[in-house]
Structure 1
Amino acid sequence: MSSPARPFLLVRLAAIGAAALVAHAAHAQSAPEGHTPRPAAPEPKVERIVHHDGLSHIEELRVGGRTRSIEVQTRSALPGYEVRPIDPGQDDRRSGAGQRQWRVLAF
């Protein structure tokens, strides 16, 4: 036979289980109204611009509208070179920007 305390124990366990479910549901609610997650920043646009003329082949790489590199391949016996673009965050006189860099050792 069942003891008189057994139904009380079952009711108590059911109440604890219900309380746990309510607490879990309250914890799983969405973020508060004032806090909205930021959308991921879009990837910057990457452009490769190629220009051919009779004596050279020029490739320019732009990322997000800013020129990152300019490479020049000559069609003569001279080796190709790279032009460092101007960086708006540096002093132009000290950066060497806009000047040629000859490739001496290329791997």
Structure 2
Amino acid sequence: MKLVTATVPESVLDDLRDTLVSIGIKGMTISAAMDRLSEDMDAEHGHSRPCAFPNAREIVLETVVSAAIVNEVVNTISASCNKTASDGIPILVSDVTLSVRVRNFELVTEG
């Protein structure tokens, strides 16, 4: 299983969500993009504090998919956002070795 995380423009969210559902994505998490400001650096812990953009124009979309369709998901996200983002869309793909659905504690493994 793979976790696909992408920061996308808010303007493409509705169409992108519908497209992902049409290719078989059953669930996704959508949240406002956060920025970490270096001037807000916490000297004691060496971490910057997250700060929500006041006028959120970017959205973080996360979904867990099987490894078989990860390329299709990445291509779909890229194609949906290509019209609005000239710099490209940051897309991160990570391995998921184990997941638990919190609502019913169902153990989910690939295969």
Q: TM-score, normalised by structure 2?
A: 0.18
Name the structure, 1 or 2, with higher relative contact order (CA <8 Å, separation 6+).
2
Structure possessing the higher radius of gyration over alpha carbons? 1
Q: TM-score, normalised by structure 1?
A: 0.18
